[in-house]
């Protein structure tokens, strides 16, 4: 998270932070364990009024940000979500909103984008594919030209909030070229299967498209011309994921540090054992480095710096690795209570682990970094 | 431009860029910059030191030395942002790399904070001109991390002090000029309350310098034997027996190299128009360019390097913002140590068997030798264990370690296993 926020940014962050503390305290998260949506009616629409889905949308389209740097503001929201292990399709809705604002048609903006901004509908990103096609960025869903339009076939998974989304932004290949289309959930041939998730309140589904008819007007941007957009959206997605992950990491670290002072063993607090002190020192270092990288990645992608792609992947590779290690170490330091459902720690462990596995694993991003370095080397 | 008017950052950047292009050679022009200790003969080493002095002098003559040092001591009196800009611009150029530590941090920094006016006027300009190279007389053979446990003793004799003892791990003492020395001046009080800091010329009768051979053959480190060396009281830094006040800041500055505005450290080792491809060239050299295992390691090392840089930028910002106290510098020290260890391991892994046996002139062998010395980055400049103590105790405010030397006269502190 950014260290020095302007008064406006600070107010914006704290508004979301307090809203989440109020609406989704840990008791609420526990209560929604088996809820198909993961939050109570009205939660999302009310939160959206705080600006959650407007940040990557241009002012002409009815969006806007606090700082003038929408992704930086969104990174703050994501951080607050992580700190609260909050439910809600923050990533999916923002990706679709960004994509439509940047390259959607007037009709797409009028219905779906306005619905996202108003909080009355949810649209989500159907981009990732299930194994064996779950390598980062791999697309096998296919669009086939039929008359003036297309048909879409393929499977997308995991798709955030798939079961209650009204529209999907789908990445598919048209004659081998990446293309984005916006498909209504009720379109023929679309079926959604709910997935299990390590997270308590984040919901995912597997979406199958079987010869789903796609009108020419459903294409977002140019047919076959979405490679650059998908690259950008992948960077944005990872910026959201790492900032949320870092928020959850920060909360778990604070919980654990507190615990080391409260818990006594052999007549002294855990915090007095050098072994524990040294591990908390390591965690503090990982946490600060994660905060710095999550922030740097948000800035680079916001500004579309030349190295934004590498920095986004470096942030994911580092934060997903060390954030996960830190949370596991927090569990270890808690001992038996750390692996119970009763203790709150797992809520944050879940969020960290979930985010580490979405839109590229540590290993995927390391390989991507090397690919990107190679491409840059070749371009010189 | 008038004397009082500060040049804006952008004009400064352009002026620095033009001056560097006209006056300073590119870094790749001199292989010795990348050489690690042990590669150089003494003759070559002295040449490199002279080159560093000359580079420092060039910076001084060009008005780019001591950007954030006060003007009255020969510096430029500019805010930190100017040092950041200069570090960007000097990327890819040669710079006085061998004398940044410990001459600028911690030695010059300690003099600036605690030195007398006379000391500052005498030494800071000389440092900025490359005329005085400084060393730390801090660690002793009896213990590296417990600096306050110094046994080297100074006894007052009229207006002078008489110094006896031994110091160790001074890099290049044999080619340096002055030492900043922590000594015990009272054995009858607890250890932190009987210390005083002095400065002294290194090359004088009474100081015998012994060069230590490291396991990789390097002889950069020295041990000094100090016998009846006389120091005028005017070369005392700080109050008598208050040396630990100086010492705490000294060690803070020692950890501050990576974010201090008193040091020159290019933002990258590359020129502005070059691209950092991390360890990809090493993988190619090792014939493993297309090996997914090697490629993943290249990505890991790159992410780690970026994380280390990002943390390095964040710490001073956090200190300035007041969200972290100045002990947070230990986070950067710890990160540099453990990331360095991992990066060295990755390089060793990529190099494969070529790192453990190699033909004359095969550069891959260097990775093996570097691996043997891997832990040095977690030892020198305060061990990573000490950094973890500082972070947990001073940043996270966890309980202090129990010590066996608290509140007892230093004379009575146990210093070894009882027979």
- Residue A369 belongs to domain with CATH number: 1.20.140.10
Boundary residue ending a domain (A101, A121, A141): A121
Residue A1 placed within a domain? no
Helix (H) or strand (E) holding B346, with range, is: helix B329-351
| Same domain (yes/no): B328, B386 | yes
How many whole angstroms from its chain centre is CA B23?
26
Nearest CA in chain A to B273: A380
Residue A188 placed within a domain? yes
Mean pLDDT over residues B183-193, rounded? 97
Collect contacts of B338-344 with beta carbons under 8 A, ≥24 apart.
B338/A282, B338/B378, B338/B384, B339/B304, B339/B305, B339/B307, B339/B308, B340/B374, B340/B377, B340/B378, B341/B374, B341/B375, B341/B377, B341/B378, B342/B300, B342/B301, B342/B304, B343/B301, B343/B304, B343/B305, B344/B370, B344/B371, B344/B374, B344/B377
- Domain span at B66: 9-98
Contacts of A264 in chain B (CB under 8 A): none
Structure-model confidence comparison of residues B344 and B257, the more confident one: B344
Q: Give the CA distances from residue A165 to residues A125, A168, A179, B24, B355, in Å, rounded to whole numbers and listed in that order.
A: 10, 7, 20, 61, 55
For residue B169, give the CATH number of its domain: 2.40.110.10
Q: Evaluate if residue B38 carries a pLDDT over 90.
A: no
pLDDT digits (tens, 9 = 90+) for B326-341: 899 899 999 999 999 9
| Same domain (yes/no): B58, B143 | no
Residue B282 placed within a domain? yes
Count Cβ atoms below 10 Å from residue A360 Cβ, excluding itself.
Answer: 26
- CA-to-CA distance for A258 and B310, rounded, in angstroms? 27
Residue B400 placed within a domain? no
| Same domain (yes/no): A166, A242 | no
Of B104, B162, B112, B173, the C-alpha closest to B138 is: B173
Q: How many structural domains compose chain B?
A: 3
| Cut 0.90: pTM above it | yes
- CA-to-CA distance for B277 and B180, rounded, in angstroms? 40
Of B111, B114, B199, the C-alpha closest to B163 is: B199
Asked if the C-beta of B386 comes within 8 angstroms of chain A's C-beta atoms, the answer is no
- Put simply, the answer to whether B303 touches A370 (Cβ < 8 Å) is no
| Same domain (yes/no): B361, B306 | yes
What ipTM was predicted for this assembly? 0.96
Mutate to test the interface with A, among B280, B298, B303, B305 (most CBs of A within 10 A): B303
Nearest to A3 among B276, B280, B314 (CB): B314
Q: How many residues does chain A have?
A: 380
Asked if the C-beta of B293 comes within 8 angstroms of chain A's C-beta atoms, the answer is no
| Same domain (yes/no): B282, B251 | no
| Same domain (yes/no): B139, B251 | yes
Q: How confident is the model at residue B5 (pLDDT cuts 50, 70, 90)?
A: low
| Same domain (yes/no): A340, A280 | yes
| Same domain (yes/no): A114, A135 | no
pLDDT digits (tens, 9 = 90+) for B135-158: 999 999 988 788 999 999 999 999
Handedness of CA B393, B399, B403, B409 (dihedral sign): positive
| Same domain (yes/no): A302, A336 | yes
Q: How confident is the model at residue B1 (pLDDT cuts 50, 70, 90)?
A: very low
Of A277, A249, A281, A250, the C-alpha closest to A261 is: A277
| Same domain (yes/no): A239, A275 | yes
Boundary residue ending a domain (A220, A254, A286): A220
- β-partners of residue A213 are A151
Q: What stretches in chain A show pLDDT beneath 50?
A: none
- Put simply, the answer to whether B310 touches A366 (Cβ < 8 Å) is no
- Put simply, the answer to whether A368 touches B318 (Cβ < 8 Å) is no
Residue A175 placed within a domain? yes
- CA-to-CA distance for B235 and B248, rounded, in angstroms? 19
For residue A100, give the CATH number of its domain: 1.10.540.10
Phi, psi at residue A125, to the nearest 5°? -95, 115
| Same domain (yes/no): A139, A104 | no
Closest Cα in chain A, distance from residue B245 (Å): 25
- Put simply, the answer to whether B296 touches A367 (Cβ < 8 Å) is yes
For residues A49 and A165, is the Cβ–Cβ distance under 8 A? no
| Same domain (yes/no): B81, B154 | no
| Same domain (yes/no): A130, A117 | no
Of A118, A16, A123, the C-alpha closest to A62 is: A118
Boundary residue ending a domain (A198, A220, A242): A220
Residue B118 placed within a domain? no
| Same domain (yes/no): B231, B300 | no
Count Cβ atoms below 10 Å from residue A187 Cβ, excluding itself.
Answer: 16
| Same domain (yes/no): A246, A352 | yes
Contacts of A291 in chain B (CB under 8 A): 314
Q: How many structural domains compose chain A?
A: 3
| Same domain (yes/no): A302, A260 | yes
Residue B208 placed within a domain? yes
pLDDT digits (tens, 9 = 90+) for B77-101: 999 999 999 999 999 999 999 899 9
| Same domain (yes/no): A238, A373 | yes
- CA-to-CA distance for A251 and A192, rounded, in angstroms? 34
| Same domain (yes/no): B165, B251 | yes
| Same domain (yes/no): B230, B283 | no
Boundary residue ending a domain (B223, B255, B287): B255
Residue A294 placed within a domain? yes
- Give the three-class secondary structure for A93: helix
Residue B115 placed within a domain? no
Residue A65 placed within a domain? yes
Residue B269 placed within a domain? no
In this predicted structure, what is the pLDDT of residue B2? 44
Boundary residue ending a domain (B98, B127, B143): B98
| Same domain (yes/no): B92, B144 | no
Q: Give the CA distances from residue B354 to residues B196, B289, B345, B362, in Å, rounded to whole numbers and listed in that order.
A: 50, 15, 14, 8
In this predicted structure, what is the pLDDT of residue B95? 94
- CA-to-CA distance for A324 and A321, rounded, in angstroms? 5
pLDDT digits (tens, 9 = 90+) for A78-122: 999 999 999 999 999 999 999 999 999 999 999 999 999 999 999
Non-local (6+) Cβ contacts of B338 within 8 A are: A282, B378, B384
Q: How confident is the model at residue B269 (pLDDT cuts 50, 70, 90)?
A: low
- Put simply, the answer to whether B398 touches A271 (Cβ < 8 Å) is yes
Phi, psi at residue A315, to the nearest 5°? -65, -45
Residue B103 placed within a domain? no
- Domain span at A181: 124-220
Residue A2 placed within a domain? no
| Same domain (yes/no): A113, A161 | no
- Put simply, the answer to whether B303 touches A363 (Cβ < 8 Å) is no
Non-local (6+) Cβ contacts of B255 within 8 A are: B329, B330, B332, B333, B381, B382, B387
- CA-to-CA distance for B26 and B266, rounded, in angstroms? 12
| Same domain (yes/no): A133, A165 | yes
Contacts of B318 in chain A (CB under 8 A): 3, 288
Residue B261 placed within a domain? no
For residue B341, give the CATH number of its domain: 1.20.140.10
For residue A150, give the CATH number of its domain: 2.40.110.10
For residue B86, give the CATH number of its domain: 1.10.540
Phi, psi at residue B20, to the nearest 5°? -60, -45
């Amino acid at each position: 998270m950014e260290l020095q926020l302007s008064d406006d940014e600070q107010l914006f962050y704290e508004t979301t932070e307090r809203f989440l503390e109020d609406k989704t305290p840990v008791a609420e998260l526990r209560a929604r364990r088996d809820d198909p949506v993961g939050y109570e009616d009205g939660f999302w629409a009310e939160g959206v009024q705080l600006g959650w889905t407007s940040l990557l949308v241009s002012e002409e389209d009815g969006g806007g940000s606090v700082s003038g740097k929408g992704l930086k503001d969104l990174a703050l929201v994501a951080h607050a979500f992580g700190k609260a292990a909050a439910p809600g399709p923050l990533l999916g809705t923002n990706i679709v909103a960004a994509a439509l604002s940047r390259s959607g048609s007037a009709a797409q903006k009028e219905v779906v984008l306005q619905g996202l901004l108003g909080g009355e509908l949810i649209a989500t990103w159907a981009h990732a594919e299930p194994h064996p096609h779950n390598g980062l960025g791999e697309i096998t869903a296919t669009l086939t030209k039929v008359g003036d339009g297309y048909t879409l076939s393929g499977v997308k998974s995991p798709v955030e909030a798939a079961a209650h989304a009204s529209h999907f932004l789908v990445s598919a290949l048209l004659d081998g070229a990446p293309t984005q289309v916006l498909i209504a959930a009720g379109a023929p041939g679309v079926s959604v299967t709910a997935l299990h998730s390590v997270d308590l309140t984040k919901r995912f589904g597997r979406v199958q498209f079987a010869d789903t008819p796609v009108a020419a007007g459903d294409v977002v941007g140019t047919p076959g011309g979405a490679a650059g957009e998908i690259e950008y959206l992948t960077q944005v997605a990872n910026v959201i994921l790492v900032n949320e992950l870092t928020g959850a990491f920060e909360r778990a670290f604070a919980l654990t540090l507190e615990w080391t002072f409260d818990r006594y063993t052999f007549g002294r607090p855990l915090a007095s054992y050098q072994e524990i002190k040294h591990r908390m020192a390591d965690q503090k270092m990982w946490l600060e480095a994660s905060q710095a990288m999550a922030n740097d990645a948000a800035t680079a992608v916001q500004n579309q710096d030349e190295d934004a792609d590498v920095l986004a992947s470096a942030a994911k590779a580092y934060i997903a690795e060390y954030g996960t290690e830190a949370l596991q170490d927090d569990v270890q330091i808690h001992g038996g209570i750390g692996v119970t459902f009763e203790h709150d720690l797992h809520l944050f462990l879940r969020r960290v682990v979930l985010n580490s596995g979405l839109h590229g694993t540590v290993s995927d991003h390391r390989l991507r970094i090397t690919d990107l370095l190679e491409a840059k080397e070749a371009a010189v | 431009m008038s004397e009082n008017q500060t040049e804006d950052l952008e004009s400064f950047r352009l002026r620095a860029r033009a001056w560097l292009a006209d006056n300073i050679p590119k870094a790749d022009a001199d292989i010795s910059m990348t050489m690690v200790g042990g590669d150089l003969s003494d003759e070559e080493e002295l040449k490199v030191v002279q080159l560093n002095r000359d580079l420092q002098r060039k910076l001084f003559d060009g008005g780019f030395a001591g950007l954030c040092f006060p003007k009255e001591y020969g510096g430029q009196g500019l805010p930190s942002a100017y040092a950041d800009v200069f570090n960007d611009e000097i990327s890819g150029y040669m710079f006085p790399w061998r004398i940044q530590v410990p001459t600028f941090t911690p030695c010059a920094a300690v003099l600036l904070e605690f030195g007398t006016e006379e000391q500052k006027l005498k030494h800071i300009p000389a440092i900025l001109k490359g005329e005085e190279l400084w060393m730390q007389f801090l660690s002793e053979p009896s213990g590296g991390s417990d600096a306050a446990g110094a046994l080297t003793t100074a006894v007052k004799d009229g207006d002078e002090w008489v110094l006896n003892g031994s110091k160790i791990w001074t890099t290049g003492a044999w080619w340096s000029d002055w030492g900043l020395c922590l000594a015990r001046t009272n054995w009858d009080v607890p250890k932190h309350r009987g210390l005083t800091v002095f400065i002294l010329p290194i090359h004088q009768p009474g100081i015998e310098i012994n060069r230590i051979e490291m396991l990789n053959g390097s002889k950069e480190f020295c041990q000094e034997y100090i016998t009846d060396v006389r120091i005028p009281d005017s070369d005392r830094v700080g109050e008598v027996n208050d040396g630990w006040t100086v010492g705490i800041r000294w060690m803070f500055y020692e950890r501050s190299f990576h974010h201090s505005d008193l040091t020159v450290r290019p933002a990258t080792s590359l020129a502005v128009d070059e691209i950092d491809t991390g360890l990809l060239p090493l993988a190619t050299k090792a014939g493993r360019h297309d090996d997914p295992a090697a490629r993943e390691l290249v990505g890991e090392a790159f992410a780690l390097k970026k994380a280390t840089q990002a943390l390095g930028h964040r710490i001073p910002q956090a200190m300035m913002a007041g969200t972290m106290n100045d002990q947070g510098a230990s986070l950067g020290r710890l990160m540099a140590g453990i990331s360095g260890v991992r990066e060295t391991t990755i390089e060793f892994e990529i190099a494969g068997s070529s790192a453990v046996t190699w033909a004359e002139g095969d550069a891959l062998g260097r990775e093996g030798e570097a691996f043997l010395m891997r832990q040095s980055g977690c030892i020198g400049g305060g061990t990573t264990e000490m950094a973890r103590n500082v972070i947990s105790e001073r940043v996270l405010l966890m309980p202090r370690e129990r010590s066996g030397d608290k509140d007892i006269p230093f004379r009575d502190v146990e210093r070894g296993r009882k027979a």
